Amino acid sequence: SVEVSPTTIKIFRLKPALLTSLAATSSRAFVLSARRSPPAVRNIAFQVTSRSMVATDIDGKAIAAAIRQEIKDEVTALKDQNKVPGLAVILVGSRRDSQTYVRMKKKACEECGIASFGFDYDESVTQEELLAKIAELNADPHVHGILVQLPLPAHLDENAVLDAVHLSKDVDGLHPLNTASLCSTSTHVGATKLNWKDLSSVPFHIACTPQGCIELLDRSGVEMEGKNAVVIGRSNLVGMPVAMLLMHRNATVTIVHSRSQNVPDIVKRADIVVAAVGRAEMVKADWLKEGSVVIDVGINSVDDPEAKRGYRLVGDVDYASAKEVVGMITPVPGGVGPMTIAMLLRNTLNGCRRA
């Protein structure tokens, strides 16, 4: 007879000398090693070591909720000093996805006690009108963060609009001077050293999604120093800034992109993988190193007739297969997404602190 537990298989009424090996076949493969018992004992316990693993999910919802509670507590303390963080959100046009994102951001502000100011414009708004409003908000002491919801209509110069936001209120972290500050390593003699283990202490705004990726790693107990990290994608929004943040944490960073050669081989060497390329389930399990940590930034819709809406959301990583190989992974949805808004709130709080 056989008795099975999560860690042990006991086989009764067999002599130790007859048990030299045992193969177990199921949805997972096991390597079993015998622990020999005295001859008088007529059972042997086999310790089970799995060749495959089921990864731990990095719960972005739970981590984001904890950060939002921390922000709420700090906002309450600031209110005792008669200071209230304020976020202004500019929305142009009637895109439903943009309207949804703006509603989510305003609701998050309300829950944390941050004042939110909404400015909605028709798609026909002129560049001059938009720049005039941004100049007004730059000068408003009650506004500590300005967010321009992207994308903008084609007739507007997106770069000019974003650059018009004062860098101290650029809570998206997209201003060229904030980007330049992120790219400064400060390794030369006499340079001010920043504490990259506490992103709240960094004296400029960091892009929200990359910042959220680092927080997920930190709060999941993942050590970055000395690790091989691969970032898939080189966008200004995620790929480049998250690569810089990983480097500031002393990881050895490789960026792969659409012109990189032998991408699976490069990714296979990574202890930490950040996938931010916008291609549904591009990263397969055989690309990934066993026990590695995967942060999946992608959010893509794929057809699914069985889903209520006819589609489902997936990341840039083939989650189902990767989960059998890696040690930790962010699900999609519920991984990186909730962190982006949490970091937006934190940037707004930091702006108020510095004002």
Determine the distance from the C-alpha atom of residue 249 to the mean position of all C-alpha atoms in its chain, rounded to a whole number: 16
Q: Tell me which of 59, 133, 169, 172 is the catalytic residue.
A: 172
Token digits of residue 312:
């489902």
CB 167 within 8 A of CB 177: yes
Do 316 and 279 meet the contact criterion of CB atoms below 8 Å apart?
yes
Residue ranges of the alpha helices (H) in the chain? 60-79, 96-112, 127-139, 158-164, 176-182, 208-219, 239-248, 263-268, 319-322, 337-354
Helical ranges in 80-207 per DSSP H: 96-112, 127-139, 158-164, 176-182
State how far the Cα of 279 lies from the Cα of 257, in Å rounded to an integer.
12
Contacts of 283 (CB under 8 A, 6+ apart): 232, 267, 273, 275, 294, 296, 316, 317, 318, 322
- In the residue annotation, 59 being an active-site residue is answered as no
Interatomic CA distance for residues 179 and 207, integer angstroms: 8
Residue with tokens 């989650």: 319
Pairing state between β 30-35 and 43-50: antiparallel
- Write the CA distances from 70 to 67, 87, 339, 342, integer angstroms: 5, 18, 13, 10
Active site residue 261: no
- Token duo for residue 337: 């997404």
Q: How far apart are CA 136 and CA 122, in angstroms?
A: 19
Tokens at residue 51, please? 């060749």
Query: Bridge-partner residues for 228, per DSSP?
Result: 252
Confirm whether 105 is a catalytic residue: yes
Q: Which of 59, 149, 289, 296 is catalytic?
A: 149
In angstroms, how far is the first alpha carbon of the chain from the final one? Answer: 73
Residues with a catalytic annotation lie at 105, 149, 172
